[in-house]
Structure 1
């Protein structure tokens, strides 16, 4: 119950209309912002799948998407400041405006039902593409579907809540429904009123007032719970996206049936090697004939072939649930010594890479978890990116670029190594060149 003498602010219909229009804009701003947060992880996935050489651009676009989303959240928050009095001050609206808002809420109810139903459906079917197709790029549909679904939740929730806020204005101020002077006289009671009647009236008044405020508090808590749910969905989607794109394989205790196989390529001439493997150790060494030997679980065995002048190696089964201690995954590529390779490009999530006594113009290794070792041979350019693992290079080269997030870098060479032709960076680990600390 409002204190006696406290003025109640009368809010005109035009101002209520402006408030509802602003909430509609906020519904779009916040909805789009949340959509951008959820789908931001699709950029690294797309670049990793199609433009692996520029995958840093995917991470940059992810940050840009989140920055735009934060900007929309800030604009949304600041744009509603002028209507804060509707929730903090005692206000009232005329009955015509109240009935108009109630009518709008009734008309919007059907839209909200469809938004919630479609949103739930999209969240459920978001996993279907991943079930049907076993490729990295398909995972973007999970985030797109969830993003659209959550957008529909937010859009319908904010608009519906704005109608509730307006309708609750008069529920918080009983004086609107009663003549102020009559209410004051009834509360004070004259001598002609009995003490029992006065007591009953005051109890009824307190009950009605508490009921109105409890309804308002319930609506406020409900909106707070909706916000918590939305942020929980955003955080889960971002974490899932980081796992899908950057995580290392998880491990199971299951042992798969293995196969050992030799792929004879002696009648082919190659100038390039392009390998993308999720799990396994890869070794390149000299041999009498061009061939590939591997030992892999049958389900995980790689696909090996020649496209023009390129040896292409791909893993056919891309699930991250193999235990390397129980399942041996290894591959050896034999290259005749007379063959000079133009490009060797290897992308490996879990496993080591070893290159022995080869002549390669451009060698590019990208490892998530594992060691990289290059022994002997001649190289025009070496580029190694390793998230977790050591890098050892004992060969001759013209240029070298090595970046380790966690791991040591050790270079042993007769080639001249200066800051002009060598870029060596380790986030956590030591860097040594010819047994000397690199500065």
Structure 2
């Protein structure tokens, strides 16, 4: 085992560390994380407005009238409806901040560039024709476009600032004013660039830059990334990196896969699409007690463990584990850089994914269409994200399967530690 640990530390750890520190991936992660509070608030409004208990709905209707749940649409437009804008700002500002440059002006310019590329439509309002952006411009439908524009804008902005292509005002000018003039010339270059891009794509078969991104990049990429095979890649890569001590969720899930799952979720809610893999499907279904589906391990250590080490880790890990935080387990057993426990750590979530995906595909389990925080305790999240008790049943079946995957490995590890503790006590 020591030789295998050394091999992983020498061959894989340096590569994984570089991936974890890659500034563009970090910027994508930060931008998507900024969207999370909006998605949770929007989902909460849906739960309140559509809670699946007839007595509750009748009570609310009788008390507040037929239109009592009109707030749902208002809140959804104000949360889910602007995720592309929030992510665009967040990614660009985070990227520029990583170069030790003020990222706030860059985020604002990225938003302007995003609007520059989107074509204003003409819509009938009675006898009048109104020019406006479609509401789908701002939501997750154009999330990929927003992320790409944010990265391009951020890189151009920081390059021009680093090359001193800025307007410098006297030191007597307040900093809050002079800082905005720093962004003037880079902003002009970026906006002009996207005006040219808009013009070039207007004469192509796609008609616009966002349509090109959606047709050529977003749709095919999402088709694979949210399939069973693509999600399997996500599960394996995330957990392999975690087993090396690298935050696999931050490196792979948040920046690369989560945008696709958010778009799937938006489609399910807005037009009744039946995308199986959504953000809650993964974060509240696969993360059972945290990455590696480790909640069954905590239960084993609390109930069945013989060694003092595992009993102690179980007592420490049960509180965080209920809220899907499992660092006491991954570093306490340890799982990190442990070739033996890496096997179930990777295999258990793959089994859970397979059960959840197949069960949803054949119609046994409901779709996961409501956002709940990833820290929501398992079983509770099963109901909240599906509005169905069958969501809880799906999690119970997955829990049992994960427990069976972990059982032979954790029992052997328990036995080994128990024997080591006995030997130490007899010396």
Q: Same fold (TM over 0.5)?
A: no
Larger relative contact order (C-alpha < 8 A, sep ≥ 6)?
2
Larger Rg: 1
Question: How would you bin the TM-score normalised by the shorter chain?
Answer: under 0.3
Question: What's the TM-score once normalised by structure 2's chain length?
Answer: 0.23
Q: Which protein has the bigger helix share?
A: 2
